Structure 1
Amino acid sequence: MKFVLRELIENHGNLFKNIVSEIMRECSRVNYKPTLELVQYSSLIFLLDPEQNITFESDKETVQSFVDYCVKKIIDNESPFIKTFALQHNFLETNFDVKSYTGRSVLSEALLMKVDTLFNEIVDFEPLTKEDYDSLFKKILYDIIISNKLGNPANPVIVKEVTNALKSVMTRQDLLEFASMKRKRRTDTLTEMRKIVCGIMIFNQDAGECGHDMRNIINDVSMAFKNTRSAINESLQRASKQVFECNQTIQNSYTIDFNSDTITFSVEDEKLINEFKEMLILLIQHEFYIKKLALIISMIRKEIDDYFKQFRSTLKQLHESVQYRVAVPTEMVFPYFSELADIWQNLWNYLYFMVEINRLNEKLNEIATTKNYETLLKKMKDQTTKTLLVKFQEDHSKIVPTDEFEWIDHFPETEAKRCPILQFCAYIFCISNGVLIPSAINIGVLKYQDRLYAFSHIKYARIFATNVRKFENKFMETVRRNVQLIVYLGLYNDIKEYNFLPDMAKVDIATDNQFQKSVEIQTELHPVPCYLKKNYTHSLWEIRRRCLTMHRLSNCVTNSTQTDMSYYK
């Protein structure tokens, strides 16, 4: 699910904006200043909590109660619960569309903003004297150095080398013609000149004639890729180890009653179980997001290698074009210079992209680090009485699909790794109020109403399949009560639109092949027998007519009494 925070905030209108403002004020009163984006994101998810019934018609007390609930959760910034929201928000707000990112790197845009003023001066400047033309030439020079990231413009060596390259492209006469151009043509010419001079500098650096103070972009990108991959692998190993330790601990602490579909923990401290469950949710999501970073890095590896090959190939063709020649036509070499400049810029953007990945990796590690991890793990292990491991008989028979659900025996493992909902057992999740136990994809996947469910054992899958509508409702209800899982599982829109059954403990859903449909019926006027007044009418005009008639009769000369019987004669 693509979670677009700004659009969702706009859809919720002014009520939500006022709630966010009030939460920010309440937090500042207790000397805590969360980021506005985190408050908006977490509050938006809190609205889906069934205990927080906030609508446009909610009264002031209900809204204030919701604000107090949000403030209480947000200011507890060391709890795994709110850390999970911070983890999600940082990941979701980062742009990972590599193709679009490499074309508009955030850092590159920040750098180009610094030369916007200089660029505008160049295309708008009207030189009159010789000094004005010299000033225009210097502005063009510094614009080329900064926009192409050729080095430090304060370095005299860089300035001298780029000056020589620029003079080989732009003579004094060319400068005069440039000054006489219209603004649009000046812009196009300056953009083209940037590329050509950049290409000349790259060619000269490769030939060993100059450019010694320029960055070696291939070495820089290669080193950045190696360091980024290494940092992500270290983070992934650490996160996976923590998740494994927590899973081993919690799997040894419960027993399941299959007759009543209930789970019993050997740890008596319910608060400890809830804290441990929230920490496990945080660590699992941290591991999942780090895996996505590792996947992104592996995907861009081939693209970077292709740019390296293209870069070397263009340089080779350029060297062959100018080899042993005193003069070379510009039409022959300028396209190569422009192509080199484009590759140079793309490689810089990949470099910035990996810097952003490193920054996010460090931020996620910082958020996922909980001070009480070791303490909670030790308490849970100490209070856990090892339960007898239930050994199920081997069951090689297949689950027979029905009209309600589909059973997929062989589900692609690579696809399953990208789907968070398939990472844990749906049956245990339902009966334990949100405990995440790893699933076994190799036993198969149950598909019901375009939603997939995985299980840790085939027996759990069979129980789930006997009453799939009941367990699906319980699954969605459990997700709704553990709001930190809603976005992670990609169920934000599903939870909002889902038609929850009233009380699954009291509703017995038939397991045979029946279908349901919504119909409209007309109820009786009065289902409960009651007294119906014979002369009752709802028409105001009829009542008015009767009043006028009674008034006319009361003014008659006769004194005889008008009864109902005589009145209707």
Structure 2
Amino acid sequence: MSAAEAENRIQFIIGDVVQECAVRGNVVSTALVEFMVKAVILDPRNGFNVDRRLTKQDVDKLEELCLDKLLKKCSPTLDTIKMQLYFERNYISRREFLEVVQQDLQSKLSVVRQRITETRVKTRDQLQTVYQDLVSYILLHSGLGSTAEPWTVQEATAALQSIFPLSKLGVFMVLSKKEKEEQLEELSLTVTGIRLFNRACREGEEQLRVHHLMPAVMEDILTVTADSVENILGGTQSLSWRYTAVLEKLSNVDSAHGPDSVAGLGEVPGLDSSPGLDSMPGLDSVPGPGEVPVGLLKQALYNVRQQQHFLTLLQVKLCQQPLLDGETHIDVLKAELLSQLKQSVESKTAVPSTLPLFKNISKLWGRLRDEAELLSILNNLSINLQPFLASQAKIFSADYLDHLLGAAEVKTDEQRMNQMPDQRVDPAELKMHEWLWPSGTMDFLELPLEYKGYCGYRLAVDGLLLPGNPNIGVLKHKEKLYVFSSREAASTFAANVDNFVSEVAEKAKRSPELIQLLQLQQQLPAAGVSSEPGERLQVKSITKRDGCAQTVIHPIQTNIDKTYEWNEWELRRNALKLADLRTKATISTQTDRSHMRRDNNSQTWNMKDAACITKREGQSSMPTPQVYLAGLRGRRDAQVIKTHLTSSVTSTEQNY
């Protein structure tokens, strides 16, 4: 079977699972089913061998296991995977958001812009129609009101007439298309600034607030501040710290009852020794006295930690990134806009010299509007992440967690970073590995740590997400960086790094939510399976991820002089060479290997001797003309007789 046919077959299997879930009353997405198929194949407990082709019975088993996991009513693992897919589908960075906003705005303006720049007007009614299109273009560009609101249209028309009356429209129509578009942009900015200026004048300088200048919808958006995201993040962090403290406490208890349950503290009815909810079709009861489901606690911790990472990414990567003095980007824009408006209100006059000020106000307004919309998306995304914590909240109530905690101390991640400042790895004991320290590494806190900064040793041993402390030492192994929660954990991990890394990968195969939480997509290859003998299918891993890279211009500040020479005799020899140069002459010769050599060619013709006769030389003697006139003397009436005495040519030749 070809690769295309294999891909079609696996899509057919995924379609069957999606359809069966819908029949059972649970609508799931194709992406969720595809990820779950991959997770079931990777889990070694399910007995699928990716190196052999699957039979029809194996395919039926695969579908049944996927349905069992997808139809669970209370599963922290399923909630975590859904949360990961939801965030991946809806997360957008600041740059991408601004690009989308500009594309949407230009698509809306393109129709009106084309109607304005390409219309040929011949009557006054057509001029009036174009002028109304100008007002519509300005309203769409500014976002201050809608064309369906008569008062807004009247306000924008009045502002436009103050700088561009209808009488000037004839001059505008004879401009080129490019000049029309440039003037449209300038008019839109100026009119928007004038409208904001007029509203500020009505409010007065003392009562001026940015909220008063916005429509009702924009006011609701701008009232959403970083406090809402910070409150949700604070609650999630507190819950993750409590789960970590409980699991850390239980890890110190005697593990005679198995790695996934501890006797004497509480139980979930019907829960066997297998970790998590994998053996349970559904769970509607809360834990009671008996055994503590450590596997469920770990799944709940993974669920809460994943939401914590997403909320932190939303807070830092998007518009709530703090600037100088703790201010946010939107706070700076609000302050700058208020300052510009107050400056314009003080003048109280809209003269041509204030037009640049109106343009600046309009540009600040556009940036503030974009930031407000981005802040609204951030807030909605953070709120929509809350339902994915429902399963862990239903299984483990706050009172039950307090019962498990007892007198144990709940430590924050910052406290764990600072509680062991003296426990530092001794490089002399671990000479076979390279260690990084805060004092000798630039941008130490920005290092790309493996496992999202969690202790690799605790992950491999008991699957606990315990934050590592970089001050203990960062292990560099095969271009990857690992941190640990204690010096003993670092020493043990460094003694056999490859085995511990493989063990973490095995933990991720059993708990598929760890693949994205710990960024293990590169370590876990895609699983290749077959549906029938002779056929081979492939489930592709999720390869999309956000990443960033920064190049340090000068990672090590050095000044290396390659011409430096320490040998005194070599320095003297070079000095003598330089002193002897003035008596030398430079001669250059071009050879076959000379630089920039060129070939010159010329064409010649061989000369030959030749002669030809062009004339014949000769001579002749012509007779001299002689004429004798008789009768010139004597009588007047005498007749003159003319006698020719010239000899003939024939007689002349005979004489010679």
Structure 2 length normalisation: TM-score? 0.61
- Tell me the CA shift for residue 349 of structure 1: 0.4
Cα distance in 1 for partners of 2:321, 2:136 equals 37
Q: In the alignment, what sits opposite 1:408?
A: 436
CA shift in 2, pair 1:54/1:147, >3 Å: farther
* Counterpart selection for 2:229 from 232, 241, 254: 232
Q: Are residue 266 (structure 1) and residue 271 (structure 2) matched?
A: no
Identity between Structure 1 and Structure 2 (%):
21
Across the aligned residues of Structure 1 and Structure 2, the Cα RMSD in angstroms comes to 4.5
Q: In the alignment, what sits opposite 1:158?
A: 152
CA shift in 2, pair 1:310/1:234, >3 Å: closer
Instruction: Check whether the contact 1:253–1:386 (CA below 8 A) recurs between aligned residues.
Output: no
Which residue type is aligned with residue 228 of structure 2?
A
Q: Deviations over 1:42-92 (max 9, x none)?
A: 556666545555699755554554444333323336411111112222333
1:150 partner SS: coil
Q: In the alignment, what sits opposite 2:333?
A: 307
1:233 partner SS: helix
Q: How is 1:186-201 mapped onto 2 (pairs within 5 angstroms)? A: 186-201=180-195
* Counterpart selection for 1:245 from 231, 242, 247: 242
- Tell me the CA shift for residue 256 of structure 1: 8.2
Instruction: Check whether the contact 1:400–1:407 (CA below 8 A) recurs between aligned residues.
Output: no
Cα distance in 2 for partners of 1:56, 1:335 equals 72
Instruction: Check whether the contact 1:424–1:438 (CA below 8 A) recurs between aligned residues.
Output: yes
Q: How is 1:336-415 mapped onto 2 (pairs within 5 angstroms)? A: 336-370=357-391, 372-373=393-394, 375=396, 398-400=426-428, 402=430, 404-410=432-438, 415=445
Which residue type is aligned with residue 140 of structure 2?
I
Which residue type is aligned with residue 273 of structure 2?
E
Q: In the alignment, what sits opposite 1:298?
A: 321
CA shift in 2, pair 1:176/1:34, >3 Å: farther
* Unmatched tracts of structure 1, length 5 or more: 1-9, 499-569
CA shift in 2, pair 1:222/1:421, >3 Å: farther
Cα distance in 1 for partners of 2:83, 2:252 equals 32
Which residue type is aligned with residue 203 of structure 1?
F
Q: In the alignment, what sits opposite 1:483?
A: 512
CA shift in 2, pair 1:345/1:214, >3 Å: same
Q: In the alignment, what sits opposite 1:424?
A: 454
Q: In the alignment, what sits opposite 2:213?
A: 216
Cα distance in 1 for partners of 2:315, 2:335 equals 23
Instruction: Check whether the contact 1:416–1:441 (CA below 8 A) recurs between aligned residues.
Output: no
Q: In the alignment, what sits opposite 2:301?
A: 280
Q: Deviations over 1:179-207 (max 9, x none)?
A: 45565554444333322221222233334
CA shift in 2, pair 1:282/1:400, >3 Å: farther
* Structure richer in helix, relative to its length: 1
Cα distance in 2 for partners of 1:203, 1:103 equals 28
Q: In the alignment, what sits opposite 1:549?
A: none
CA shift in 2, pair 1:13/1:175, >3 Å: farther
Q: Deviations over 1:301-324 (max 9, x none)?
A: 44334434553565577678x777
Structure 1 length normalisation: TM-score? 0.69
Out of 86-95 and 214-223, give the one that drifted further.
214-223
Out of 298-307 and 486-495, give the one that drifted further.
298-307
Instruction: Check whether the contact 2:18–2:28 (CA below 8 A) recurs between aligned residues.
Output: yes
Which residue type is aligned with residue 488 of structure 2?
K
CA shift in 2, pair 1:378/1:225, >3 Å: same
Q: Deviations over 1:199-258 (max 9, x none)?
A: 222233334499999952699999967743211222122212222222222222234899
Which residue type is aligned with residue 352 of structure 1?
E
Cα distance in 1 for partners of 2:223, 2:160 equals 35
2:225 partner SS: helix
Which residue type is aligned with residue 308 of structure 2?
E
Cα distance in 2 for partners of 1:381, 1:291 equals 26
Number of paired residues? 473
Q: In the alignment, what sits opposite 2:537?
A: none
Which residue type is aligned with residue 85 of structure 1?
I
Q: Are residue 81 (structure 1) and residue 77 (structure 2) matched?
A: yes
Q: Deviations over 1:323-348 (max 9, x none)?
A: 778x53xxx55444333322211110
Q: In the alignment, what sits opposite 1:561?
A: none
1:446 partner SS: strand
Instruction: Check whether the contact 1:443–1:458 (CA below 8 A) recurs between aligned residues.
Output: yes
Q: Deviations over 1:382-405 (max 9, x none)?
A: 789999xxxx9x966625475653
- Tell me the CA shift for residue 481 of structure 1: 2.8
* Counterpart selection for 1:462 from 487, 491, 514: 491
Instruction: Check whether the contact 2:37–2:62 (CA below 8 A) recurs between aligned residues.
Output: no
Q: Deviations over 1:362-417 (max 9, x none)?
A: 01112223365454776788789999xxxx9x966625475653233449999379
Cα distance in 2 for partners of 1:469, 1:178 equals 73
1:490 partner SS: coil
Cα distance in 2 for partners of 1:72, 1:461 equals 39
Q: In the alignment, what sits opposite 1:133?
A: 127
Q: In the alignment, what sits opposite 1:70?
A: 66
Cα distance in 1 for partners of 2:455, 2:313 equals 21
CA shift in 2, pair 1:286/1:78, >3 Å: same
1:93 partner SS: helix
Instruction: Check whether the contact 1:228–1:357 (CA below 8 A) recurs between aligned residues.
Output: no
CA shift in 2, pair 1:111/1:102, >3 Å: closer
1:86 partner SS: helix
Instruction: Check whether the contact 2:260–2:294 (CA below 8 A) recurs between aligned residues.
Output: no
Instruction: Check whether the contact 1:80–1:370 (CA below 8 A) recurs between aligned residues.
Output: yes
* Counterpart selection for 1:146 from 132, 140, 144: 140
Q: In the alignment, what sits opposite 1:526?
A: none
Cα distance in 1 for partners of 2:470, 2:17 equals 43
Which residue type is aligned with residue 69 of structure 2?
K
* Counterpart selection for 1:452 from 463, 481, 490: 481
Cα distance in 2 for partners of 1:308, 1:377 equals 40
Q: In the alignment, what sits opposite 1:29?
A: 23
Instruction: Check whether the contact 2:450–2:480 (CA below 8 A) recurs between aligned residues.
Output: no
CA shift in 2, pair 1:453/1:221, >3 Å: farther
- Tell me the CA shift for residue 487 of structure 1: 1.3
Q: Deviations over 1:102-132 (max 9, x none)?
A: 4544xx7667766655444444544444333
Q: Deviations over 1:278-313 (max 9, x none)?
A: 111101111222223333413364433443455356
Instruction: Check whether the contact 1:416–1:423 (CA below 8 A) recurs between aligned residues.
Output: no
Cα distance in 1 for partners of 2:151, 2:41 equals 60
Cα distance in 1 for partners of 2:165, 2:14 equals 60
Cα distance in 1 for partners of 2:450, 2:214 equals 37
Greater gyration radius = 2
Cα distance in 1 for partners of 2:216, 2:27 equals 42
1:279 partner SS: helix
Which residue type is aligned with residue 79 of structure 1?
S
1:25 partner SS: helix
Instruction: Check whether the contact 1:148–1:198 (CA below 8 A) recurs between aligned residues.
Output: yes
Q: In the alignment, what sits opposite 2:501?
A: 472
Instruction: Check whether the contact 2:210–2:334 (CA below 8 A) recurs between aligned residues.
Output: no
Instruction: Check whether the contact 2:200–2:213 (CA below 8 A) recurs between aligned residues.
Output: no
Instruction: Check whether the contact 1:87–1:368 (CA below 8 A) recurs between aligned residues.
Output: no
Cα distance in 2 for partners of 1:187, 1:53 equals 64
Out of 290-299 and 56-65, give the one that drifted further.
56-65
